[in-house]
Amino acid sequence: MVSDPIIQIRGLRTQFGPKVIHDGLDLDVMRGEILGVVGGSGTGKSVLLRSIVGLLRPAAGTITVDGIDVLAPSAEGRARLGGLWGVMFQDGALFSTLTVCENVEVPMRPLDLSPPVRRALAELKISMSGLPPDAGDKFPSELSGGMKKRAGLARALALDPAIVFLDEPTAGLDPIGAAEFDRLIRGLTDALGLTVFLVTHDLDTLHACCDRIAVLAEKRVLATGTIAELRRLSHPWVHDYFNGPRARAAFDPATKA
Ligand SMILES: Nc1ncnc2c1ncn2[C@@H]1O[C@H](COP(=O)(O)OP(=O)(O)OP(=O)(O)O)[C@@H](O)[C@H]1O
């Protein structure tokens, strides 16, 4: 892993009316890492993700992605941003009237590709995401929850992004499906050299996938580090999160037996 930050956030403030979600939030995401983002419900993990990818406008602060000022990009920067990342939202956020293949082709539409090439690329991403070939012609309503997530992942990979944002990728999956998804994320990250920003509540995912973890609390990133480093912190929420019974079951092999 090369350790230069591909995402740099400084002094981020986000708010909805008088309700402040982040205040003075700083974060670096290193190139090539899977960064897990955890925090209590409502601490602003998804809002942070949406702010980085430009779906929400922060009240203050700077966000730089691969050297591009996301909040005020130059024309050249704006053109590069489109292909720099892919996003997998929690429920897949698929277009219900399009097949899986057509969904994966949506981000490719602005590119000057012939329909057969677009189709072939979409089929490649579908297969990389672990879906069977016949899934491409199915509509989202015909897919299981796990398949929808894989289709969402295939669409996130459509433009060969450097960074993939995943919002609770294993939420709602059974433990076997969740473990398969963890392996898929880790495998794709290593094979493609991706950087992954992964919002999760899933302790097994943190253990199986993440190189580092950022903890959101008190309107900012309270701490970052490996699981071992975070387990040593005395902050009450961090301590309970990383040392509670569920954490012990996920992180301590001896307790798992
Ligand atoms: N568009 C919006 N308008 C107003 N408030 C919003 C909006 N989006 C999010 N919020 C509020 O911002 C806060 C943070 O929301 P967010 O979804 O980021 O939390 P989270 O940490 O991802 O929570 P969870 O773990 O429960 O998914 C919540 O109080 C939420 O109600």
Spell out the per-residue pLDDT of the chain, length 257, in tens. 447 999 999 999 999 999 999 999 999 999 999 999 999 999 999 999 999 999 999 999 999 999 999 998 888 888 888 789 999 988 778 999 999 999 999 999 888 888 999 999 999 999 999 999 899 999 999 998 889 999 999 999 999 999 999 999 888 888 888 898 999 999 999 999 999 999 998 888 999 999 999 999 999 999 999 999 999 999 999 998 988 878 888 888 655 43
Mutate to test the pocket of ligand 1, among 46, 52, 89, 90 (most ligand atoms within 8 A of CB): 46
Q: Is the CB of 41 within 6 Å of ligand 1?
A: yes
Distance 250 CA to ligand 1 centre (A): 27
Q: Where are the beta strands (DSSP E) in 80-122?
A: 85-88
Alpha carbon distance, N-terminus to C-terminus of the chain: 32
Check residue 253 and give its pLDDT: 65
Distance 177 CA to ligand 1 centre (A): 26
Atom of ligand 1 nearest to the CA of 90: 27
Check residue 254 and give its pLDDT: 56
- Compute how many other C-beta atoms are within 10 angstroms of the C-beta atom of residue 41: 6
5-224 to CATH, choices 3.40.50.150, 3.40.80.10, 3.40.50.300, 3.30.70.20? 3.40.50.300
The ipTM assigned to this model is: 0.97
Q: Where are the beta strands (DSSP E) in 68-208?
A: 68-69, 85-88, 163-167, 195-199
The structural domains of the chain, with segments of one domain joined by +, span 5-224
Reading phi first (left if > 0) and then psi (alpha if -120 to 50, else beta), residue 16 is in beta
Identify the CA nearest to 159 among candidates 76, 83, 88: 83
